[in-house]
Amino acid sequence: MVGGGEGAYIGGIHRFAARLDNHFDLVAGAFDVDAARGHAFAAKNFIAPDRSHGDYAAMVEGERGRDDRIDVVAICTPNHTHYPIAKAFLEAGIDVICEKPMTTTLEDAIALHELAQQTGRFLGVTYTYSGYPMVHEARAMVARGDIGKVRVVQVEYPLEWMATGIELQGNQQAAWRTDPQKNGRGGSIGDIGTHAYHLAGFVTGLKAEAIAADLATFVEGRALDDNAHVMIRYESGARGLLWSSQVAIGQSNGLRLRVFGETGSLVWHQEHPNELVFTKLFGAPETIKRGRDDLSEDARARTRTPPGHPEGYIEAFTNLYSGFAAIIRANAEGRAAGPMGEGVPASYDGLKGVAFVDAVVDSHEKHNGGWLAPRFA
């Protein structure tokens, strides 16, 4: 692991996810931007001293020559470091699990995707929400035609935690997320809009043809957007609307997807992830529950406990990790990855996410979102 040290957020979730299905051992790391803190964290986590590395470059050098070298590295650092770290490990022939957004610039995202292809190494991207079984169920239902041709996609990812200038009050996570050099061009849209965009595309299979965006910064002095509205035209003719917000008071983690087709609709909400609401034209809404026997193979493959015993965020993240493991093993053995490898986000998904952020910021900055004033207001 690179990053994810003391006081970090997502590294701990990666460690749970890596261990739950027993596919991974954590054996080496450069856990912190500060080498001494990284070594202390490694010692606390029972990492052998010779495998606690001072930085990622030392880790590449230290690991590449070992007989028992790492198979894969998880990159859990702020966005601007993903590109050089992922590049160094791919070039050393080591598979990569990279946090989103994959890079901070489109140029780097293209280069990284191409490098993954050239080296033949696997580069997974942790679009967390595609790990949920009921998201897979929704995807299977759309593909099966249960709601007919998709007309409208509404996806929103509102959060509350940055509703004030906490980046100026010592909050580590907010500090780099509001710095364009570290976060990239898109604030809320890069941080959480990318999750919403991936989720909508993952479930519907739709490809965006064009977007128009309106970005806003509500917290005074903040350099990046903390609220974004994006209209999406899909190639199929479907229309989408995406909202990401870091200033939505009362919303803890309100990611919600609604898909409306010609004959039915689906609603999935991250805070109630074991349920999917399906409504047929003029019918009563039906709640489909995780763990039931009649769900799709992809949903059942990602379920551990019987229905009624809730599963959640950690299990969804684990499903991604187990998908990565399935692909890495299958690649090594020259065979197909099977159901756990199905839909697992990889470098092209990472590239699409960065391209989306780039288009959103361009739409807002260069084309003013295509705004017209009403003649009377």
Question: Using CB under 6 A as the criterion, which residues of the chain lie in contact with ligand NAI when the complex forms?
Answer: 2-5, 8-11, 30, 32-33, 55-56, 76-79, 81, 99-100, 126, 128, 172-173, 176, 191
Residue with tokens 């007309």: 151
Q: Which is nearer to ligand NAI, 98 or 211 (CB)?
A: 98
Write the DSSP assignment of 3-55 as a string of letters: E--TT-SHHHHHHHHHHHTT------BB--SSHHHHHHHHHHTT--GGGB-SS
Kindly state the smallest distance separating residue 6's Cβ from ligand NAI, in Å: 7
The Cα–Cα gap between 41 and 32 comes to 8
Q: In the numeric block, which tokens belong to residue 292?
A: 């039931």
| Alpha-carbon distances of 319 from 136, 304, 345, rounded to whole Å | 11, 10, 11
Q: Which is nearer to ligand NAI, 234 or 321 (CB)?
A: 321
Q: Which is nearer to ligand NAI, 39 or 229 (CB)?
A: 39
Q: Which is nearer to ligand NAI, 147 or 192 (CB)?
A: 192
Q: Which is nearer to ligand NAI, 31 or 278 (CB)?
A: 31
Kindly state the smallest distance separating residue 190's Cβ from ligand NAI, in Å: 8
Kindly state the smallest distance separating residue 29's Cβ from ligand NAI, in Å: 9
Closest to 73 in 3D by CA, of 128, 112, 26, 19: 26
Angle at 76 between CA 71 and CA 78, to 5 degrees: 140
The count of other CB atoms within 10 Å of the CB of residue 372 is: 5
Q: Which is nearer to ligand NAI, 249 or 314 (CB)?
A: 314
The Cα–Cα gap between 39 and 203 comes to 41
Q: In the numeric block, which tokens belong to residue 255?
A: 């990611």
Kindly state the smallest distance separating residue 114's Cβ from ligand NAI, in Å: 21
Kindly state the smallest distance separating residue 317's Cβ from ligand NAI, in Å: 8
Residue nearest to ligand NAI according to CB distances in the complex: 3
| 133-144 vs 313-333: helix crossing angle, rounded to 10 | 70
Kindly state the smallest distance separating residue 236's Cβ from ligand NAI, in Å: 28
Q: Which is nearer to ligand NAI, 74 or 326 (CB)?
A: 74
First-to-last alpha carbon distance for the chain, in angstroms, is 55
Kindly state the smallest distance separating residue 287's Cβ from ligand NAI, in Å: 25
**292 Cβ partners below 8 Å, 6+ apart?**
307
Chain-centre distance for alpha carbon 292: 26
SS3 115: helix
Kindly state the smallest distance separating residue 375's Cβ from ligand NAI, in Å: 43
Q: Which is nearer to ligand NAI, 190 or 291 (CB)?
A: 190
